[in-house]
Amino acid sequence: MSPHWEKQPGPANTRTGFHFSLYGLNVHSDIPLPGCTEVLPSIDPELWIRRGRVDAPEPDVAQQIRYTCRETKELLVNWRGYGRFAVTDNSEIIVDMEDGADLTGAGLLVTGPLMAVALQRHGHVVLHGGAVETDGRAILFLGSSGIGKSTTVAAMLRHGYKFVTDDLCVLNPRGNRWWIERAPALVKLKNESLKALGEDPEIYPELGSSERKRHYTPSMTNADRLPLTAIALLGWGASPSLDRLSSGEAFFALRGNSFTIHINDKLGINEEHFAQCGEVARGIPVFRLTRPNDLERLEIAVQLIQEIASAQAGQH
CATH number at residue 146: 3.40.50
Report pLDDT for 41. Answer: 86
Verify that 208 and 231 share a domain, yes or no. yes
Q: What is the pTM of this model?
A: 0.91
Mean pLDDT of 83-105: 90
What are the pLDDT digits (tens) for 158-171?
A: 999 999 999 999 99
Cα–Cα distance, 26 to 110 (Å, whole number):
15
Report pLDDT for 13. Answer: 62
Report pLDDT for 65. Answer: 87
Domain limit, last residue, from 88, 105, 121: 121
C-beta separation of 81 from 101 below 8 A? yes
Verify that 149 and 165 share a domain, yes or no. yes
Using pLDDT thresholds of 50, 70 and 90, give the confidence band for residue 308.
very high
Mean pLDDT of 97-119: 90
What are the pLDDT digits (tens) for 5-19?
A: 888 765 556 667 899
Q: Average pLDDT of the chain? A: 90
Domain ranges, residue 32: 5-121
Q: Which of 246 and 104 is assigned the larger pLDDT?
A: 246
Verify that 142 and 117 share a domain, yes or no. no
What are the pLDDT digits (tens) for 203-256?
A: 999 886 555 789 998 899 999 999 999 999 999 999 999 999 999 999 999 999
Verify that 170 and 105 share a domain, yes or no. no
Q: Which of 14 and 144 is assigned the larger pLDDT?
A: 144
Provide the domain count of the chain: 2
Report pLDDT for 274. Answer: 92
The DSSP secondary-structure symbol of 88 reads -
Type of residue numbered 27: V
Verify that 102 and 75 share a domain, yes or no. yes
Question: Which residues are within 8 A (CB) of 224 and not within 5 positions of it... i.e. 6 or more apart?
Answer: 21, 24, 181, 182
Report pLDDT for 270. Answer: 85
Domain limit, last residue, from 59, 93, 121: 121
pLDDT above 70 for 152: yes
Q: What is the DSSP string of 122-178?
A: TT-EEEEEEEEEETTEEEEEE-STTSSHHHHHHHHHTTT-EEEEEEEEEEEEETTEE
Verify that 295 and 151 share a domain, yes or no. yes
Cα–Cα distance, 155 to 296 (Å, whole number):
12
Mean pLDDT of 254-279: 89
Nearest to 259 by CA among 168, 146, 133, 149: 168
Any alpha helices (H) in the chain, and if so which ranges?
103-109, 115-121, 149-157, 191-196, 247-256, 264-267, 270-283, 299-313
Environment class of 221 (CB within 10 Å of its CB; exposed 0-12, middle 13-18, buried 19+): buried
